[in-house]
Structure 1
Amino acid sequence: MGRTAGRSPEDTRRALLDAAGEAIRTRGVNATLDEIARHAGVSKGGLIYHFASKDELILELARDLLASFRAQVEGRLDPADTEPGRYTRAYVRALLAPAADEVAVRKAMALITQLTTVPAVAELVDADTRQLNAELHADGLPPDVLTLVIAAADGVSSAPLWGETVDRPAIRQLERRLIQLTRQPAWWQQLPWEE
């Protein structure tokens, strides 16, 4: 099965990552390279050309998922917003954004969960989480406000795993309230924050 006519190396690489995601979602991390290559429409040799091993492919798939979420956050930064909490607001918007395809959201969440059973992926996710948390904590919000806002957004964002939609009026209202919480310095200063 040679290279698919008209498909660039980048397109082939993308097809392999998508095929790996689908195979792992349906068969688990034990999905074979043959299955992934077949699903992507390339030979096993073609897969090996792009990813030297299954471990490399799995790590790259995890990196791709993490980068995709980071791009969503970055894409929701308001260039006119220079106040403390700017990054946190983008994070909330990214987590609570209405999904064009709720099934795809559930699949992505299930996939990253499966991938974290691989120790190298778990380490990668832990490092990314530490970096993200450092960026959120450097965003200028009081720690308790940050914890409250992030915990609420994280919790609601998992709703698709349970068959619930995040695209409904109550969630839009919650998103507005969480954003509002990040913009209320007057009441922050009145609370007794402990170090």
Structure 2
Amino acid sequence: MTLPERELVRDRERTRRAILEAAEQAFEQRGAKASLAEIAAIAGVTKSGLMHHFRTREELISQVIEHTIGRSWEEVRAHVDLTENRPGKFTRGYVRAFTGGSEYLTRVFSPSGLLAALGTLEAAESAEALQQADARAWNEAFDADGLPPGRALAVRYAAEGLIFSVNTPYLTPGQLALARADLMALTEVEPGPPSSPR
């Protein structure tokens, strides 16, 4: 591939990402009312430019879901401490990301955030397949982390529960810090065989 061709590909990728991020913003702010024209304006492209990358609204919504899934993984991986060479390393990164360490996840999971907005949209049929694949991938990552399965599930879903209350009157910063510390403590286990699911 020549240098001009590579630059063209990079420009297309940047434009596509800008549209996806603009769609996230528009859906967060306006929910199902967000129009393609509004999304295009936020992204700094024309509506026809948006339609060049995403032929239909359903395709755009499906790609926003896929983008959000990818970003969630990026955020968790960014919070994994690679020097922690013991069981629970991935789970600790998850706790860090989901208990205030990731501005992106905090925004997406807020009660009025992107996930709430996407839940009101008619997503493309492929969204269910994306979510099924994503759920399997998360489960595999937690299963491979070396913690007893029940404990990993409890920590995981407690962290997810906390993120919904971050920046609301229902959870003070002190309470969040206390809960985060206790969840982190639960990720420290003595080496041994993991418990098996019943």
Q: What is the TM-score with the length of structure 1 in the denominator?
A: 0.77
Describe the shift of the 1:69–1:98 C-alpha distance in structure 2 as closer, same or farther (beyond 3 A). Answer: same
Counterpart among 46, 49, 64 of residue 49 in structure 2: 46
Confirm or deny: 8 A CA contact 1:99 1:105 kept in the other structure.
no
Question: What is the distance in 2 between the residues matched to 1:51 and 1:108?
Answer: 28
Range with greater deviation from structure 2 (132-141 or 117-126): 117-126
Distance 2:105 2:76 in 1: 18
Q: How does 1:117-128 map onto structure 2 within 5 Å?
A: 117=121, 118=123, 119-128=125-134
Percent sequence identity is 32
User: Distance in 2 between the 1:164 and 1:102 partners?
Assistant: 18
Deviation at 1:10, TM superposition (A): 3.9
Deviations 1:55-114 (A, max 9, x none): 221122112211111111111111111211111111111101246589845569632233
Aligned equivalents of 1:132, 1:100: Cα separation in 2? 20
After superposing on structure 2, the runs of 4+ consecutive aligned residues of structure 1 that deviate more than 6 Å are none
Aligned CA-pair RMSD: 3.2
Paired residues in the alignment total: 185
| Partner of residue 158, structure 2 | 152
Normalising by structure 2, report the TM-score. 0.76
CA offsets per residue over residues 98-133 of structure 1, 9 Å max, x none? 465898455696322332452432332232122112
Seen in structure 2, the aligned counterparts of structure 1 residues 23 and 15 have a Cα distance that, compared at 3 Å, is: same
1:171 partner amino acid: L
Could you tell me whether the CA contact under 8 Å between 2:165 and 2:171 is conserved in 1?
yes
Summarize the Cα distance change of 1:174–1:127 in structure 2 as closer, same or farther, 3 Å threshold: same
Which sections of structure 2, spanning at least 5 residues, go unmatched? 1-10
- State which of 18, 28, 39 in structure 1 corresponds to 2:21: 18
